[in-house]
Amino acid sequence: HRHGKIAWLIAVLLPLCGSAALYWLLYRSHPVFAWAFSVLVLYLTMGFRQFSHYFTDIHQALRENDVEKARGLLSAWRGTPCHELNAEEVARVTIEEALLASHHYVFGVMAWFVITMLLGLGPAGAVLYRLAQFLNARWGKKGDAEFGAFGTFARQAYHWMEWLPLRLTAITFAIVGDFEGTVYCWRTQARSWPDPEAGIVLASGAGALGVRLGLPIPQGGLPLDRPELGIGDEADADFMQSTVGLVWRALVFWMVLLLLLGLASLAGT
């Protein structure tokens, strides 16, 4: 555990301090340069392409009633076989994957970006979050037989860092979606999901969209029991389009917030 902590700190602190130092050097030259650098780092650390092409292709396949193609694409995205799913289940699981990916690759990054910008550390938060995410995937999620306690700190650190961004994502979904539905599902359903952290994003997203997510799905010839999330209708291609709208509205909300933050920073110089 101690070695894992030291390795994590070395892997994270060097890029973190480097980005903060470069931000301050540029800021001393001119605040506009520092802000431009921050925007560039934010763009590079966000991962729209990590999920957008899969989602778009699956959506198009379902629109064309090509369920077999949609299953294959979803299997490639998730890394698990999805050939037993019907069209509604494919749409449902795809929406779940998109909501989680939008948090991990977009809104979580933006949340930590804002935090460190407010602390005067520039875009260091975006770098910190993506590095912590990578190290959790590389070390924290591996089996004990491979890494033992080495990845424990990576897993714990990412868990701590996710506490605020998860809730900010849920609040954003409430603002740009169905507010009452989001709050209700978040409060009553999130804890029932096997991973309560993912449950916050999925339950709030389902409530914001007015769609039913979760629910049992076939896996390996047997039903995989999953709790119901959300309220409303069954998932379909139309709700996938609504998911795109929800994510874009949330992104616009954050971009406006960042713009106001930047203008306030420049006005104060």
Domain ranges of the chain: 2-267
Predicted pLDDT at 189: 97
User: Residue 214 in 3-state DSSP?
Assistant: strand
Cα angle 254, 250, 190 (rounded to 5 degrees) comes to 115
d(CA 119, CA 221) in angstroms, rounded, equals 52
Average pLDDT for 25-30:
93
> Which band of pLDDT confidence, cut at 50, 70 and 90, is reported for residue 26?
very high
Q: What is the largest CA-CA distance in the chain?
A: 63
CB neighbourhood size of 248 (10 A): 12
- Secondary structure of 144-213 in HEC code, one letter for each residue: HHHHHHHHHHHHHHHHHHHHHHHHHHHHHHHHHCCHHHHHHHHHHHHHHCCCHHHHHHHHHHHHHHCEEE
Predicted pLDDT at 145: 53
> Which band of pLDDT confidence, cut at 50, 70 and 90, is reported for residue 268?
low
What integer best gives the mean pLDDT of the chain? 91
Q: Which of residues 147 and 201 earns the better pLDDT score?
A: 201
Q: Which residues contact 124 (CB under 8 A, 6 or more apart)?
A: 16, 17, 19, 20, 23, 116
Give me the residue label for tokens 């997510």. Answer: 213
Q: Residue 255: what are its φ and ψ, rounded to 5°?
A: -65, -40
Q: Residue 181: what are its φ and ψ, rounded to 5°?
A: -65, -40
pTM: 0.92
Q: Which residues contact 236 (CB under 8 A, 6 or more apart)?
A: 62, 87, 88, 91
Predicted pLDDT at 140: 66
